[in-house]
Amino acid sequence: MKLYSCNFKSIPVLSIFAIGVFTCNTYAAEPVTTAANAESAQVVEYPAEFFERYRPSTALDMVLQLPGFQLDDGTDNRGFAAAVGNILINNKRLSAKQDVPSATLARIPASQVERIQLVRGQDNGIDLQGQSVVANIFLRKEEAAAIRWKTYVEHNNWAPIKPAGSISISNSWKDIEYNTGIDLERNTSGYHGSEREYNPSGIQTTDTIEDSSETGLSINAVSLNATSKLGETTTHLNTNFSLNDSVYLRPSITTALATGKLSDISIRTDRNTNRFELGLDGERELQADLDGKLIFLFTNRNQTESTTRINSDSVKGQTLHRLADTNTAEKERIARLEFDYSGSPDHQIQANMEGAYNILDRNLVQTDDKGAGPFAVVVPGANSRVKELRGDFLVNDTWSLGKFELDYGMGMELSTVSQTGDAEQKRNFHFFKPQGSLSYSTNQDIQTRLRVVRKVSQLDLTDFVSAIVFEDNDLALGNPDLRPETTWAAELSHEHRFDKISVIKLTSFYNRISGVLDLLPLTPDFEAPGNIGNGKRWGVEFEGAAPLEWLGLTGSRLNLKLRWQDTSVVDPVTGNDRILSGESGQSAYRTLTNRNLNNHYFVSVDYRQDFESAQVAWGWTVAERAERPLFKVNELDVYNEDVAINAFIETTRWFGLKIRFETANITDDAQERDRTIYSGERELSPVDSRILNERQIGRRLVLSVSGNF
C-alpha cells in the first residue's frame, strides 16, 4: 500500500559493510522493520515499494528520489577511498574510480532492487570513509536476466542534433553474477558569443562576434561488473573503457570601432582520448570477527591533441599560424588492504593500508609562422614527466555508547613527488591525519553530529606542467614546487525527519587551510598554480524536503538546497585579505556537493509532482550560484552565469516505456566572463583594459525513451 507520509520511528536496519553514496528525495509505502534492525538509529530503510509512484526504470532513478540524500560520485581523486562516492551495492564498495557509481546504477534495472538503506553512522562494520551518509542498495537474489536500454535525442539551437543510446544486461552465468553495458553518443556542443573591449576611460574599442562548435563520437563506457565466490573469498571485477574523438572549432571576427579594421581568429582542436580501468578485489573472513579485503586498481588514460590558431586582418592578411601538438599519458596503480574487526563489544575497529603510484607524461611541440616560415617555440615546463608514490595508513575505532557513537582514528600519509624533463625536482612529504566524530541519535528521526578531521588535498599532476591557452593567447605555466593543501575541517550538523518525505538538515562548517592552492605570482606578467599561504573557509548548508499536499498539490514534493560561505586569505600580490579564487570555466551545472568551489552562495529549488493514476509526472528546477573570481598577477578574471531553469514531463503509461521530455537552460543562460587587465600588478597599477565576454549556450530540448525487458 502506498502512503504519502509515515512515521520513521520503526524503520528497519540490516547488516551492512563498506561505503558509497548518492543524493535525493521521496515518499510512498511503509518501510520494513525487523527485529534485527529495529533498535538502530543509524539506518533508515526504504523497500522497493516506496519508489513505485516514481515508476523508476533503473536503480539510479530510485536513489535520486531518496529523501534528504545527495549523490556524490566521488569528486576527490586522491587514492581510492575518497574517490568512489557514497554508494554501496549489497554492502560492498565498487573497486572502480572512472566508472562512477551513478553510471553503474544506471545500468541496473529497478526490478532488481529489493531495498535501499540510508546509513548515517558506523553500523555493522560500515566504514563511511569521511562521508556523513551513504546509500546501500540491496539487489534481489536469483533474479531473472534483465536488459535495460535507453535512447535519446537532444536539440540545441547552437549545436548539431545529438543522438545517444545505451544498453546493459544483468544476469548470472554459473556462479558469476554480472552486469555489462555500453553507452554511445554523438558528441556535440556549441555557443554563440560576443566580446567587448574597453579602454581605461570606459570607452568601447572593439566588438567581437564568436561562435563555437564541437562534434565527434563518444563511447562513454564499455563496462563489465562481475561478482563470484572462489572458495571462502568473494571476488569482484570491474572494467571500464571509454573513447572520445572530437573536433572543436571557434571562429571569431573583431571590429576596431575607431578605424573599422576587421580581424579574425580561427581556432581548431582535434582531440582523441581513450581511457581503460581494471579493478579487482577479494574479501573473506580471516578468522572469527576479522574480515579482510584486498583491492587492486589499474588505470590508463591517453590523449592526443592538435590545435591550430590562425590570425588575420583586413590590412595585412594572415599574421599568425600557430600549431601545437600535445600528447598526454596518465597512469594510476593502487593496491589497498582493509581489515575489519568486530570481536570487541561495542567497538568496530578498522585498519586500512593503501599504496598508490601516479604518472603523468606530457609532450608539447609548438611552431609559429608569422609570414617568414614556421619556427619552433620553446614553451618552458611543457615537456615533463611527473611521478607520485604515496602510502596511506589509517586505524579507526567506532565506539557505541547507547544513543552516542564515537568514531575516532589516526591516519598517516607518506609521499614522494618527482619531476623530470624541463624541470628536475624531487620532494618528500608526510602528513598525520587524525579524525573524530561524535553523533547523538535518539531514534531514526533525529541525529546530531560533530566531526573534526584533517584532510590532505589531491595534487593535480597537470598543474606541474605548462600548457598553451589558445583562446586567450596566453601561457598557463606549471609549478614543480607545488605541495598538497592541508585542511583542519570542523563540522556540526543536525538532521530531523518528520515523516516519510519531510526532512531538514542544517550543517555549519569551519576550515583552516594550510598552503592554500591558488594562483601564485611568478613574474609581473605570469602566475602558476601554487601555495600562497594560510586561509579560512566557513559557512552553513541547509537541505530540506517536504510534501505540498497541504496546498492541495497531490503527489507533490519540494526540495531546497542552500549553501552560504565565506573565505579569507592574504593576497600575494597586494598583501591584503581577500576571498579564495573560484573555479575557472563557464557551466550551467550547479552543485552543492563540493565546498571547495569557493563561490559565495549556492541555492537550488526542485519541484516534482506525480499523478499516479495517470502515470504522469512533471517538475522543474531553479538554481543559482555566486560569481567566481580568479586573482591573477595582472588580471582579475570573474566568471558568472544567469539563473538556471530546467523543467521536465514524463510518463510510463504506454507499453511499459518511460518517455521523458525535458528542457534545459530555458532562459538561454548567459555565461559571462569579466576580465580587468592591469598595466602591471593587479590593483597596484592602472587598469589597461577591460574585456567583457558573454556566451549563449542555447536552450536544450531532450526527448528520451527507456525500458526494460
Give residue for cell 551545472.
Answer: 589
The predicted model gives 619-646 an average pLDDT of: 91
Domain count, the chain: 2
- The burial class, CB within 10 Å (0-12 / 13-18 / 19+), for 512 is middle
Do 311 and 445 lie in one domain? The reply is yes
Q: pLDDT band for 665, please (50, 70, 90 cuts).
A: confident
Do 112 and 178 lie in one domain? The reply is no
Interval 569-623: pLDDT, tens: 999 999 999 999 987 654 434 444 444 467 789 999 999 999 989 999 999 999 8
Which residues fall within 8 angstroms of residue 693, CB to CB, at 6 or more apart?
A: 193, 194, 195, 672, 673, 674, 675
Q: Output the CA–CA distances (angstroms, integers) from residue 192 to 337, 509, 668, in the order listed.
A: 51, 40, 11
Q: Is the pLDDT of residue 19 over 50?
A: no
Which residues fall within 8 angstroms of residue 272, CB to CB, at 6 or more apart?
A: 243, 244, 245, 303, 304, 305
CATH number of 25's domain: 2.170.130
Phi, psi of 464 (to 5 degrees): -85, -15
Would you say residue 365 lies in a domain?
yes
- Report the range of poorest mean pLDDT among 29-38, 320-329, 457-466: 29-38
Range of the domain at 198: 146-708
Would you say residue 155 lies in a domain?
yes
Q: pLDDT band for 40, please (50, 70, 90 cuts).
A: low
Q: Is the pLDDT of residue 194 over 70?
A: yes
Average per-residue pLDDT in the chain?
86
Do 41 and 163 lie in one domain? The reply is no
Q: pLDDT band for 253, please (50, 70, 90 cuts).
A: very high
Q: pLDDT band for 127, please (50, 70, 90 cuts).
A: low
Q: pLDDT band for 343, please (50, 70, 90 cuts).
A: confident
In three-state form (DSSP H/G/I as H, E/B as E, the rest C), the secondary structure along 532-575 is CCCEEEEEEEEEEEEECHHHCCCCEEEEEEEEEEEEEEECCCCC
The predicted model gives 545-550 an average pLDDT of: 90
Last residue of a domain, one of 85, 114, 139: 139
Q: Return the C-alpha torsion angle 456, 461, 462, 465, nearest 10.
A: 120
- pTM attached to this predicted model: 0.85
Would you say residue 1 lies in a domain?
no
Do 135 and 173 lie in one domain? The reply is no
The predicted model gives 330-357 an average pLDDT of: 92
Do 401 and 272 lie in one domain? The reply is yes
Which residues fall within 8 angstroms of residue 304, CB to CB, at 6 or more apart?
A: 271, 272, 325, 326, 327, 328
Q: pLDDT band for 708, please (50, 70, 90 cuts).
A: confident
User: What is the predicted pLDDT for the residue at 95?
Assistant: 72
The predicted model gives 201-219 an average pLDDT of: 92
Would you say residue 399 lies in a domain?
yes
Say if CB 290 and CB 272 are below 8 A apart.
no
Q: pLDDT band for 282, please (50, 70, 90 cuts).
A: very high
User: What is the predicted pLDDT for the residue at 17?
Assistant: 25
Say if CB 370 and CB 320 are below 8 A apart.
yes
Interval 465-517: pLDDT, tens: 998 888 888 888 899 999 999 999 999 999 998 887 889 999 999 999 999 99
User: What is the predicted pLDDT for the residue at 396?
Assistant: 92
Last residue of a domain, one of 107, 139, 171: 139
Q: Is the pLDDT of residue 460 over 90?
A: no
Would you say residue 79 lies in a domain?
yes
**pLDDT greater at residue 349 or residue 8:** 349
User: What is the predicted pLDDT for the residue at 400?
Assistant: 87
Which residues fall within 8 angstroms of residue 634, CB to CB, at 6 or more apart?
A: 524, 525, 677, 678, 679, 680, 681, 682, 685
Do 48 and 191 lie in one domain? The reply is no
Q: pLDDT band for 81, please (50, 70, 90 cuts).
A: low
User: What is the predicted pLDDT for the residue at 13?
Assistant: 27
User: What is the predicted pLDDT for the residue at 496?
Assistant: 93
CATH number of 284's domain: 2.40.170.20
Q: For 80, what's the count of Cα atoms within 13 Å in the CB-facing half-sphere?
A: 33
User: What is the predicted pLDDT for the residue at 130?
Assistant: 61
Do 181 and 69 lie in one domain? The reply is no
Last residue of a domain, one of 99, 122, 139: 139
Would you say residue 316 lies in a domain?
yes
Q: Is the pLDDT of residue 101 over 90?
A: no
Q: Is the pLDDT of residue 38 over 80?
A: no
User: What is the predicted pLDDT for the residue at 159?
Assistant: 86
Do 616 and 656 lie in one domain? The reply is yes
Greatest alpha-carbon span in the chain: 85
Cell output for 482: 607545488
- Report the range of poorest mean pLDDT among 65-74, 289-298, 476-485, 552-561: 65-74
User: What is the predicted pLDDT for the residue at 3?
Assistant: 34
Do 164 and 123 lie in one domain? The reply is no
DSSP H or E segment with residue 101: helix 101-106
Would you say residue 3 lies in a domain?
no
Q: Is the pLDDT of residue 2 over 50?
A: no
Q: Return the C-alpha torsion angle 140, 134, 441, 34, nearest 10.
A: 0
Rounded Cα distance between 343 and 340, Å, is: 10
Do 133 and 169 lie in one domain? The reply is no
Say what percent of the chain tops pLDDT 70.
89
Say if CB 313 and CB 208 are below 8 A apart.
no
Would you say residue 580 lies in a domain?
yes
The predicted model gives 689-701 an average pLDDT of: 92
Rounded Cα distance between 350 and 78, Å, is: 20
Say if CB 651 and CB 616 are below 8 A apart.
yes
Do 273 and 126 lie in one domain? The reply is no
Do 189 and 41 lie in one domain? The reply is no
